[in-house]
C-alpha cells in the first residue's frame, strides 16, 4: 500500500475547513496534515509541511484563491483542487483556475446535502498520484484553419473528458474552424459550471459553443456541451440529428455520462462519427467508445504523457476502443482530417 496522500486544507471559514477535513479524514488513504485560513498562512504551511495536494478556496481575505494559485504555479507547482461556491460567479472563477493549472474542482455543499464534496477524496488521491509536470508552460495554440481551407463532411464528433478536461477541450476546440463538424461533448463538471464553461469556450473558439438543450439540431459550426448534474446527453433522429437530454440514473457514477453519449452516437451515426476520449479519472466512456469503433466510427484517445489523469483513455485503450493514441496537441488536427469531405465527394 502506498503512503496516504498528504493534504493541506485552505479556506477562510473554520467550519468549512473542519468539514473538508472530516470528509477527507474518513478515507484511510488521505492524511490531512494541516489547515490554513488564508494565503499567507497557506504559504508558510506549504514551506513547513510540503503537502502532496492543496485544497483551495477561491474567495479569501488578503489574497484571493486565483491570485494565490498563480503564485503557486509559478513558484512551487503542485496539484491544487479548487473548492468553489455553486454560483455563476464561482463557476467563472473556478474555470479560470482550471486554465491556470488547478487539478480539478469541487463545489461547496448546499445545506443538508447527503454527500458533501462528493468524490473529493478520490480526486485528492488521483492528484497525489499524478505525474503531470506542473512547471511546464502551456504550448501556444496555432490559429484554426479558415472556413475556406476546411470542407466539412457529414461526420458527427463526440468527445468525452473529465479531470483535466477544461484545458484539454480548449486545446482541441481551438484547432476547429468556424465551419467545424457538429460536435457533442460530455465533460464531468458540477451543475451550474457547464453553462459558464460553454460561454468561455464560445469566447475562445471559432465555432459557436453552447450548452446543449433538448431538441437542439446538430449543425455544422456548432459545438454542444452536456449540462452538468441532472440529465444525460444523447443524440437521436436519423433524418435530422438533434440533442436529447435524458432523465436516467447515473452511469459509472456520472450524470451526464460519456458512455451514454457515445452509445447513442454509435447507434445513430455508425461509421459517420468520430469518437474522442480525453483525460479523466475512472472508466466512463471506454465501453461506449468501443461500441462506436465496432459500429465503424473512427476513434482517438489522448496519450498518457499529455493526460492530467490517464484513467478513461487508459481503460479505453486496454479495451481496444482506441484506434489511435495521440498527444493532446495533435488531436484537434486529426479530428479535422477524419471529418473533412473527400475531394471526390462528401463523406
User: How distant, in Å, are the alpha carbons of 33, 187, 189 from that of 23?
Assistant: 14, 25, 20
Please give the span between the terminal C-alpha atoms of the chain, in angstroms, as a whole number.
Answer: 52
Q: CA-to-CA distance for 102 and 108, rounded, in angstroms?
A: 16
Distance CA 216, CA 294 (A): 27
Contact 222, 237 (CB under 8 A): no
- Give the residues across from 53 on adjacent strands: 7
Active-site pick, 84, 162, 196, 264: 162
| 298: DSSP letter | E
Catalytic residue among 188, 232, 254, 317: 188
27 is catalytic: no
Instruction: Count how many residues are written for the chain.
Output: 347
How many CB atoms within 10 Å of residue 120?
22
- DSSP letter for 207, please: S
Residues 6+ away with beta carbon under 8 Å from 299: 274, 275, 276, 277, 289, 292, 293, 316, 321, 322, 323, 324
- What phi and psi values does residue 231 have, to the nearest 5 degrees? -140, 165
Q: Are 255 and 227 in contact (CB under 8 A)?
A: no
Rg of the chain taking only CA atoms, in angstroms? 20
Give Cα separations from 333 to 118, 174, 317 (angstroms). 35, 10, 20
Q: Which of 11, 259, 263, 284 is catalytic?
A: 284
Q: Among this protein's residues, is 294 annotated catalytic?
A: no
Buried b / exposed e over 37-60, threshold 16 CB at 10 Å, is bbbebbbebbeeeebbbbbbbbeb
256 cis-preceded (ω within 30 degrees of 0):
yes
Q: Which helix (H) or strand (E) holds 63?
A: none
Q: Cell numbers of 339, please? A: 471529418
188 classed as catalytic: yes
Q: Which three cell numbers stand for residue 324?
A: 489511435
Question: Catalytic amino acids?
Answer: 162, 188, 284
Amino acid at each position: 500500500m502506498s503512503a496516504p496522500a498528504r493534504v493541506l486544507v485552505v479556506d477562510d471559514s473554520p467550519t468549512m475547513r473542519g468539514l473538508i477535513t472530516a470528509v477527507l479524514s474518513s478515507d484511510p488513504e488521505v492524511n490531512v496534515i494541516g489547515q490554513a485560513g488564508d494565503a499567507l498562512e497557506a504559504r508558510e504551511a506549504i514551506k513547513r509541511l510540503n503537502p502532496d495536494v492543496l485544497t483551495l478556496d477561491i474567495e479569501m481575505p488578503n489574497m484571493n484563491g486565483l491570485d494565490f494559485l498563480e503564485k503557486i504555479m509559478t513558484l512551487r507547482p503542485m496539484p491544487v483542487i479548487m473548492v468553489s461556491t455553486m454560483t455563476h460567479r464561482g463557476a467563472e472563477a473556478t474555470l479560470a483556475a482550471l486554465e491556470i493549472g488547478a487539478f480539478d474542482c469541487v463545489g461547496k455543499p448546499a445545506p443538508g446535502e447527503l454527500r458533501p464534496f462528493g468524490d473529493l477524496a478520490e480526486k485528492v488521491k488521483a492528484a497525489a498520484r499524478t505525474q503531470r509536470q506542473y512547471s511546464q508552460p502551456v504550448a501556444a495554440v496555432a490559429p484554426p484553419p479558415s472556413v475556406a481551407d476546411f470542407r466539412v463532411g457529414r461526420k458527427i464528433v463526440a468527445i468525452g473528458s473529465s479531470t483535466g478536461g477544461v484545458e484539454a477541450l480548449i486545446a482541441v476546440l481551438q484547432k476547429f474552424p468556424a465551419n467545424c463538424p457538429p460536435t457533442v461533448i460530455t465533460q464531468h463538471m458540477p451543475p451550474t459550471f457547464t453553462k459558464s464553461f460553454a460561454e468561455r469556450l464560445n469566447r475562445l473558439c471559432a465555432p459557436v459553443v453552447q450548452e446543449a438543450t433538448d431538441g437542439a439540431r446538430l449543425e455544422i459550426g456548432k459545438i454542444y456541451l452536456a449540462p452538468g448534474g441532472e440529465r444525460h446527453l444523447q443524440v437521436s433522429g436519423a433524418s435530422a440529428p438533434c440533442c436529447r437530454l435524458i432523465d436516467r440514473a447515473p452511469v459509472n457514477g456520472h450524470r451526464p455520462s460519456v458512455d451514454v453519449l457515445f452509445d447513442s452516437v454509435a447507434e445513430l451515426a455508425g461509421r459517420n462519427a468520430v469518437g474522442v476520449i480525453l483525460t479523466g479519472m475512472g472508466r466512463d466512456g471506454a465501453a461506449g467508445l468501443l461500441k462506436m469503433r465496432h459500429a465503424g466510427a473512427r476513434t482517438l484517445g489522448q496519450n498518457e504523457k499529455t493526460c492530467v489523469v490517464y484513467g478513461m483513455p487508459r481503460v479505453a485503450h486496454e479495451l481496444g476502443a482506441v484506434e489511435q493514441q495521440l498527444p493532446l496537441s495533435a488531436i484537434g488536427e486529426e479530428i479535422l482530417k477524419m471529418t473533412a469531405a473527400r475531394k471526390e465527394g462528401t463523406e
